[in-house]
Amino acid sequence: MPDIKDLLIPAVAVVGLVGVIAGFLLTRGPKILLDKKRKRVQVLDVLQLTHDTKRIRLSTGGKNSRLGLPCGKHIQLFCPNPSTCISSGKWNGKDDMDRGIPEIKRSYTPTEDGLGYTDLVVKVYRPGKVQMPDGKEVTWEDGGKMSLFLDGLKAGDHLDINGPIGLVEYFGKGSFKVPGGTKEVQHCGMMAGGTGITPMLQIVAAALADTSDTTKFSLIYANKTEDDILCKDLLDQHVQASNGRFKVHYTLDFPPNGWQGKTGFITADMIKECLPPPSQKPLMLMCGPPPMVEFACKKNLEALEYPKGTYHSF
């Protein structure tokens, strides 16, 4: 008969091994979903935020998983190119910018990356009249391809994504990766329109969460109406908690009576008043509808003699 000690030694070894494995599983970091390969994720729920804006919560694959998006980068979403667009070659009265390909992709920045989920804030562009940043009013016959697709999603549906994507990344403490290299700044100017606020919010939140980060951020946030302002409570909370490091200037195309903010499209005078001047050698970031970025942002920055290497769009 074997000695009891001979039986206990293997048992103790097994118990010890199980403990080591359990400890490793408990202490290792979360699983990261993004690896620059296309993924299919499930919609967990959809929340209506405003008349034309929704928060879509996506699963990252489990309670110990997260999206893993570097600060300042974004993801691509995929959806079918509408059949009417493919057959006619037209969308919103113009030649199809996607050239009739069967599937399209668009870039979005999540507003939150939690364990087991990530949130997208989506502005839905439906058919109708739209006033552009250059002052022209245009009629969209069809609306926005991707936003209309996302508008139809419900809990349980699936969506294909890929990432991380993008040329701008925030490393912290005023250090940014931008096209052409790394830029170190003390003050960052920002201009956003609509859902273009999401990458700005991502960077500001990360900077303010680091008590050793002293970088300043000044933001002009443009919208049509007061109801269109996304995440205003969160933005205002960041302003209050920033000890002067973060300032937000809201501007509206159609302000309500008693509005205390700015009015109209982003102008050169607005940039001079609200954002750091070229003499401070800031980094200027832009995100919003292409006409806003081209007409209201880039052209005004050029007119104010910001060097080209100092401003970038997401």
Please, which contacts does 154-158 make with residues 24 or more away whose CB atoms are closer than 8 Å?
Answer: 154/43, 154/46, 155/43, 155/44, 155/45, 155/46, 156/42, 156/43, 157/42, 157/43, 158/40, 158/41, 158/42, 158/43
Please give the Cα distance from 115 to 235 (Å, whole number).
Answer: 23
**287 noted as active-site residue:** yes
Candidates 240, 245, 179, 177; CA nearest to 210 is 245
The residue with tokens 């007409």 is: 295
Among residues 74, 187, 238, 312, the one annotated as catalytic is 74
Q: Are 144 and 151 in contact (CB under 8 A)?
A: no
- Residues 192/204, Cβ–Cβ less than 8 Å: no
* Spatial separation of the C-alpha atoms in residues 170 and 187, rounded to whole Å: 13
The three-class DSSP label of residue 199 is helix
Q: Is 311 a catalytic residue?
A: no
Catalytic residue among 53, 109, 111, 198: 109
- Do the beta carbons of residue 154 and residue 145 sit within 8 Å? no
Active site residue 297: no
Catalytic member of 85, 188, 274, 287: 287
Please identify which of the residues 53, 60, 108, 251 carries the catalytic annotation: 108
Active centre residues (catalytic): 74, 108-109, 287
